[in-house]
Amino acid sequence: MLWEVDVSLRDPAGDHAGRDVAAGAVELGVAACTRARTAAGWLIEGSVSREDVERLAATLLADPVTESFVADAAGAGRLVEPLDGLPTVVHVLPKVGVTDPAGLSAQAAAAALGHCVTIRSLRKYWLPPLPAADVDRLADRLLANDAIQDVVAGPLTITPLAGGRTWAYAQQAVPLTGLDDATLEALSRDRCLALSVGELHAVRDHFAGLGREPFEIELETIAQTWSEHCCHKTLTSAVDHAGPAGSVRYGNLLKETVFAATRSIREALGPQDWCVSVFRDNSGVVRFDGDHDICVKVETHNHPSAIEPYGGAATGLGGVIRDVLGTGLGARPIANLDVFCVAPPDTPAAAVPPGTIPPRRLLAGVAAGVRDYGNRMGIPTIAGAVAFHPGYIGNPLVFCGTVGIMPRGHADAAAEPGDLVVVAGGRTGRDGIHGATFSSIELTSVSETESGGAVQIGHAINEKMLVDFVLEASRQRLFHAITDCGAGGLSSAVGEMGAALGATVDLDKVPLKYEGLSATEVWISEAQERMVLSVAPGDWPALAKIAAAEGVEATAIGTFTGSGRIVLRWRGAVAGDLDCHFLHEGRPRQRLVSRHEPAARGPLAWGADAALPRALLDVLALPDVASKERIIRQYDHEVQGCSVLKPLLGPGAGPADGTVIRGVLGRSRGIVLGVGLRHHLGRLDPYQMAAGGIVEAIANAVAAGADPDRIALLDNFCWGDTRRPDSLGTLVEACRACHDLAVAFAAPFVSGKDSLNNVFSYVDDAGVDREISIPPTLLVTALGQLDDVRRAISPDLKAAGNRLAIVGETRAGLAGSQLALTGRVSGGDVPTVDIASCRGSIRAVAAACRAGLVQACHDLSDGGLLAAVAEMSIAGRLGARIDLAAVPAAAEAAAHDLAVAFSESPGRFLCEVRPEHVADFARGLDGIPWAWIGGVTASLELEIRSDSGAVDRIGVADLARAWRREEA
Amino acid sequence: MLAPRALVLRAPGTNCDHETAHAFERAGGLARRIHVRALAERPALLDDFQILCIPGGFSYGDDIASGRILAVELKTRLGDALRRFRDGGGLVLGICNGFQVLLQTGLLLADPVTHEPQAALAHNTSGRFVDRWVRLACAPSPCVFLKGLGDLELPVAHGEGRFVLRDPAQLAALRAAGQLPITYAPDDAGVSTNPNGAVGDVAGACDPTGRVFGMMPHPERFLDATQHPAWPGRLDPAAPGAGFSIFVNAVKATA
């Protein structure tokens, strides 16, 4: 029997979801939809009576104080009667096979109450009378995402819930011998393998040597392992590069740039080396205090988020949390960060290509995904950024990062021969099949419908339980190694852990969400919230006991053998047998060619509008600069009780530079996070884009009080089509910058990740093929440390009478700046990093902060000096006086007030200093370009003196309104 | 004398248990984090404790509604044990998700005759989760946790915190009885800091004895001055935060 229960609020005024639907409908041009009501619906199947269902509804599904419910047999007329006079009923249900967290939770709770039923959740909407076309439009654009949801307008006619099908084991060979290259290419595309013809040749030849053809499961395993997503084949390629700094021949691009920098820094540090495990495990590990190491990882989840923003971002975060949990013997996740790159929210509908989600809805979706997953995990989301550029319209970027902490000595872990292969956490379903290979292929306008299978939905509570289980098992040292099931699923997890040993896996033992998965699907499914552990047989009973106590399913599915082979079995029969050496070393290396020529730039040209106040208000309201408070406040940034510098600071809640947490409750040593992202420079000068991002990330951390000798960096390269020599050339330039800057600052890269082929292709209204590539984008994350969090420094102004100093030289490069985005200036050079000068200013400011001479500190980035002072005033609810003529500036910058005011020259800071510290502060800056440029006032206005002596005044309240994009 | 013992109850999805246990220990108590499964199997465990705390989080994912599944589990599996604990003079504190649970179990503000919940914590008026700091005012009341507290600041972090009553007319009576002892207050500019639209600005509620208390704000997130969003340059970083007193009061009341 199938029942439906609808739960709605008694008080219509409380129905916010309904209000949002009405507002969204009007925005979409469905003006008649002025009102809407919503309900949470539940489909309940099983041998339960009407009374049972009503009791379940009353005790479990509806709140007795605020809600009422209707329970009846599914399809009953009562369930589609008008609500509050609204006659049009629309149901939105998760597609079969898509994870339904609410349904699963309700089902488990019903089971605890003694009712063995299947429960699915749905959302139900009541709308005014509307033409069918309008209902379809609302369903398509507002109420549902057809990648994961079904829509039923009118009565719900539904077949039994438990779909499922059966699958009979059959070994399926995929003949490669004798196929020409075109056929091989088609085979790779049709099977979504993302293997090149050259790679398929290597596979064909390997199996020819064995005298047979590969089985499907073997071919899939190779495809997952060799995917760009899993092995970074472009970045680790040999590259012949011709660039402005001459020609270079790399044997392995990544190894000879980013890794080489880390190696040389570690060698120079010698016994003082504080890196523990870099570019090896699921995250980078560095020394923290006498008892602990900390680790950090930042991942991208771009392609899934483009198709299903909420689920894509949530599972992106879930994945990176598992990376940290799967580092060494398991680290405790203690902080998250998220960065989104999207098209401007005001992109006109006509400029939104078919098959893409409008940027405003996309941003709301990804933020909600991070919110709902991160908050449920109880991990504070403490840092991040939102960056805007039209190039992200088809390929939004979603970066999720996690910091973890572990006892010293837990960083090294390895499976041992004879260990059991244990899978723990969520069950395996058909979700996310081909995520690894999908993310390595470019998106097209039909991806949204074709690739839905690659989209996963997270179930945060499963992951929270998994974390609790793993950390307790780790405390008791009940496993030898652990890794997460991410891209490529079990095939990657077991393949990586067993790379040296080999393993035998009984795929029929893997617990399934529903029947009917083929052996291959079980092996490559990317179902979320699973970890693989390597467990000595003697420890298995104790481990299983902890799993049971925490309510986590853990199953032994095989053995790490020491045979050097991955053997896959189904009910005893061998379904696949792969040589580990071939799997991990057999991929043919490619030699690529790249070139980079600096983009031609026009001469620096100024517009007519030179008024400072209007320029400042315009800059503050630009989407990159404007307040992100609406997003930040949806994230719990204080859970775990360690927060010290939050993302919003001071009595006026201004933006933080670096954010700070204690590493351990009750102890004073701190962790600082900073991020750098100079995406507007990506197309202009990829070297400076990367260099500026690194300086920004380090400056962020140092402004908050971080020790400049203990900063670890992470790289996240997101690029367009790197199969093109010129696009690959920009990637090489960015890698060169990473090397140069890391060495100069002795800040080692410890981990990284890349996402390539971020190109969106579609056919426009005129039938023309179009392509949109993202701008070359490097996200840099700085993980800093601070001896004593009580010495952390925030950017909010503290007291009238204090003086303001600018540290670092101001130069004229304004290309790609926020000022340029306002249209007041064009052409000219990009802001360039002068390594020696940046190093000098950063070290001097760090020393002054450490000596207690700085009351407030803000690094100058987007919007330059005036945006920084405005943010400090807003945060501190204090005024400031600034004399632009006093700013130490190179001649070409000094020539124009707007250049001094809004230059984005990297490596500069604004510091607030007490009168009694003035002399000491000045002494520490010997040899550095710096100057006193004003002071803090109680007037609640910003007073700007131009070079000409003219004085402009702007109220801090007006600055705050512009920055918060509130109407005056 | 032995330190008072606090049982910090955790369920799948509880996520403020570590810092809440830490708060009780800093206040001089002895805290144990215990899984609801373990307690349900051995309710007598409660006999070893003087304080029961249900901390913040998303118990069982809060997928149906905040605190719903844990409340149903406590009612069905531990109802008698909890009533015995309360009637025996034990202190009960629910923070955020714990407050949501306490109201739904009927341990707090239930109808004296039907034992049905009379109050609920509904979705915030904004329709969204919010993490921000609020001003709070404490009224004279029997609440042992708030003893000696006046005005204070604490953070809130919730999507469902709007206090509502089944019968709005009850507000005055509950207030007069001192059962709504902590409310959201205006900031320096006179603007309300009520983050969720709670009726009567109610941020917390206690039973008539003052020994069972639930609140939406998170006192365990303000044990140190350095947890305040505007502390640098304004507060002594070595000073305790306002939330610490709540745990000290609990420990003192049971010592």
Closest chain B residue to A793, measured at CA:
B232
Confidence bin at A461 (pLDDT 50/70/90): very high
CB distance B228 to B153 below 8 Å? yes
| Structure-token match 């488990």, residue found | A108
Q: DSSP letters of A724-777?
A: SHHHHHHHHHHHHHHHHHHHHHT--EEEEEEE---EEEEE-TTS-EEEEEPPPE
Q: DSSP letters of A829-840?
A: PPP---HHHHHH
pLDDT at A452: 44
pLDDT at A331: 97
Give the DSSP letter of residue A315.
H
- Quick one: which of B98, B126, B109, B104 has its CA closest to B167? B109
Confidence bin at A968 (pLDDT 50/70/90): very low
pLDDT at A157 over 80: no
Q: How many angstroms separate the Cα of A133 from the Cα of each of A29, A136, A138, A460, A780?
A: 12, 5, 9, 36, 46
Least confident of A421-435, A479-493, A556-570: A421-435
Report H helices in A476-590: 489-497, 519-524, 540-549, 580-585
Catalytic residue among A91, A206, A241, A301: A301
Amino acid identity at A791: R
Contact A112 B73 (CB under 8 A): yes
Contact B61 A105 (CB under 8 A): yes
Q: How far apart are CA B127 and CA B215, in angstroms?
A: 20
- Quick one: which of B249, B240, B187 has its CA closest to B215? B249
pLDDT at A815 over 70: yes
Contact A635 B12 (CB under 8 A): no
Give the DSSP letter of residue A127.
E
For B233-242, write each residue's pLDDT tens digit: 999 999 999 9
- Domain interval for residue B211: 5-254
In this structure, the number of other CB atoms found within 10 A of the CB of residue A670 comes to 28
Structure tokens that stand for B228 in this block: 């305040």
pLDDT at A544 over 50: yes
**What is the torsion angle, in degrees rounded to the nearest 10, for the CA atoms of residue A630, residue A635, residue A639 and residue A640?**
-130
For A719-772, write each residue's pLDDT tens digit: 999 999 999 999 999 999 999 999 999 999 999 999 998 999 888 888 889 899
Q: How far apart are CA A719 and CA A737, in angstroms?
A: 15
Give the H/E segment covering residue A249. strand A246-250
Q: What is the mean pLDDT of residues A635-654?
A: 97
Given this chain, do its domains A2-153 and A173-251+414-587 carry the same CATH topology? no
Strands A909-913 and A803-807: antiparallel
Q: Which of A109, A633, A856 sits opposite B131 (nearest CB)?
A: A633
Q: Where are the beta strands (DSSP E) in A130-209?
A: 149-153
CB distance A682 to A775 below 8 Å? yes
pLDDT at A437 over 90: no
Q: Which of A60, A378, A638 sits opposite B72 (nearest CB)?
A: A60
Q: Is B238 on the interface with A (CB under 8 A)?
A: yes
| Structure-token match 């098992």, residue found | A473
Q: What is the mean pLDDT of residues B228-234?
A: 97
Q: How many angstroms separate the Cα of A398 from the Cα of each of A223, A300, A380, A673?
A: 24, 6, 18, 18
| Residues in chain B within 8 Å Cβ distance of A465 | 12-13
Strands A88-94 and A37-45: unpaired
Q: How many angstroms separate the Cα of A141 from the Cα of each of A21, A39, B144?
A: 11, 19, 52
Instruction: Report the percentage of chain A scoring pLDDT > 70.
Output: 96
Mean pLDDT of chain A: 92
Packing angle between helix A216-225 and helix A197-210, nearest 10 degrees? 130
Q: What is the mean pLDDT of residues A623-635?
A: 96
Which residues share a beta bridge with A662? A670
pLDDT at A449: 42
Amino acid identity at A56: L
Instruction: Label residue A395 exposed, middle or buried (CB < 10 Å: 0-12, 13-18, 19+).
Output: buried
**∠A538-A542-A547 over CA atoms, to 5°?**
130
Give the DSSP letter of residue A58.
I
| Residues in chain B within 8 Å Cβ distance of A634 | 128-131
Shortest distance, CA A794 to any CA of chain B (angstroms): 6
CB distance A811 to A832 below 8 Å? yes
- Quick one: which of B113, B107, B109 has its CA closest to B78? B107
| Residues in chain A within 8 Å Cβ distance of B63 | 101-102, 104-106, 461
CB distance A568 to A580 below 8 Å? no
Q: How far apart are CA A190 and CA A857, in angstroms?
A: 55
pLDDT at A101: 85
pLDDT at A966 over 90: no
Structure tokens that stand for A423 in this block: 């899978």
Q: Which of A105, A633, A855 sits opposite B132 (nearest CB)?
A: A633
Structure tokens that stand for A160 in this block: 């039994």
For A227-263, write each residue's pLDDT tens digit: 877 778 889 999 999 999 899 999 999 999 999 999 9
Catalytic residue among B73, B160, B218, B228: B218
Highest CATH level, class, for A793-968: alpha beta
Q: How far apart are CA B175 and CA A530, in angstroms?
A: 49
| Residues in chain A within 8 Å Cβ distance of B118 | 65
Active site (annotated) includes residue A739:
no
Give the H/E segment covering residue A942. strand A941-945
Q: How many angstroms separate the Cα of A863 from the Cα of each of A273, A626, A809, A821?
A: 37, 10, 16, 10
Q: What is the mean pLDDT of residues A450-454?
A: 48
pLDDT at A671 over 70: yes
CB distance A585 to A809 below 8 Å? no
Number of A:B CB contacts under 8 A?
179
Q: Is B65 on the interface with A (CB under 8 A)?
A: yes
CB within 8 Å of A451: residues ≥ 6 apart: A147, A303, A307, A434, A438
3-state class of A509 per DSSP?
helix
Instruction: Label residue A605 exposed, middle or buried (CB < 10 Å: 0-12, 13-18, 19+).
Output: exposed
Catalytic residue among A91, A115, A206, A229: A229
- Quick one: which of A668, A678, A625, A673 has its CA closest to A647? A673
Q: How many angstroms separate the Cα of A757 from the Cα of each of A194, A237, A437, A718, B243?
A: 12, 16, 12, 8, 50
Q: Is B233 on the interface with A (CB under 8 A)?
A: yes
Q: Which of A60, A633, A653 sits opposite B68 (nearest CB)?
A: A60
For B194-209, write each residue's pLDDT tens digit: 999 999 999 999 999 9
Report H helices in B42-176: 68-87, 97-105, 170-176
Least confident of A189-198, A446-455, A458-467: A446-455
Q: What is the mean pLDDT of residues A783-806?
A: 97
pLDDT at B63: 86
CB distance A881 to A868 below 8 Å? no
Which residues share a beta bridge with A8? A68
| Residues in chain B within 8 Å Cβ distance of A646 | 229
pLDDT at A133 over 50: yes
Q: What is the mean pLDDT of residues A155-183?
A: 77
For A315-373, write each residue's pLDDT tens digit: 999 999 999 999 999 999 999 999 999 999 989 888 889 888 889 989 999 999 999 99
> Which superfamily is assigned to A2-153 in CATH?
Phosphoribosylformylglycinamidine synthase subunit PurS (3.30.1280.10)
Shortest distance, CA B159 to any CA of chain A (angstroms): 9
Strands A443-444 and A503-506: unpaired
Per-window interface: B 175-194 vs A, CB < 8 A: none
Q: How far apart are CA A221 and CA A488, in angstroms?
A: 8
pLDDT at A432: 66
The backbone torsions φ and ψ at residue B196, rounded to the nearest 5 degrees and listed phi first, read -140, -5
pLDDT at A967: 59
Give the H/E segment covering residue B205. strand B202-206
Chain A interface disruption, residue of B58, B123, B130, most A CBs within 10 A: B58
Least confident of A104-118, A394-408, A916-930: A104-118
Q: Is B239 on the interface with A (CB under 8 A)?
A: no
Reported pTM: 0.94
Q: Is B236 on the interface with A (CB under 8 A)?
A: no
Chain B interface disruption, residue of A122, A636, A798, A917, most B CBs within 10 A: A636
- Quick one: which of A565, A496, A575, A430 has its CA closest to A225? A496
Q: Say which residue, A171 or B141, is predicted with more confidence.
A: B141
Q: Where are the beta strands (DSSP E) in A260-310?
A: 275-277, 284-287, 292-300
Q: How far apart are CA A609 and CA A952, in angstroms?
A: 15
pLDDT at A448: 42
Catalytic residue among B53, B96, B143, B206: B96
Chain A interface disruption, residue of B26, B42, B60, B134, most A CBs within 10 A: B60
Contact B164 A65 (CB under 8 A): yes
ipTM of this model? Answer: 0.96
Contact B65 A63 (CB under 8 A): yes
In this structure, the number of other CB atoms found within 10 A of the CB of residue A77 comes to 8
Work out the widest C-alpha separation in chain B, in whole angstroms: 54
Q: Which of B69, B232, B238 sits opposite A792 (nearest CB)?
A: B232
pLDDT at A104: 87
Mean pLDDT of chain B: 95
Indicate which CATH number applies to the domain containing B31: 3.40.50.880
Active site (annotated) includes residue A584:
no
Give the H/E segment covering residue A332. strand A332-342
> Which superfamily is assigned to A173-251+414-587 in CATH?
PurM-like C-terminal domain (3.90.650.10)
Q: How many domains does chain B have?
A: 1
3-state class of A227 per DSSP?
coil
Contact A638 B157 (CB under 8 A): yes
pLDDT at A152 over 50: yes
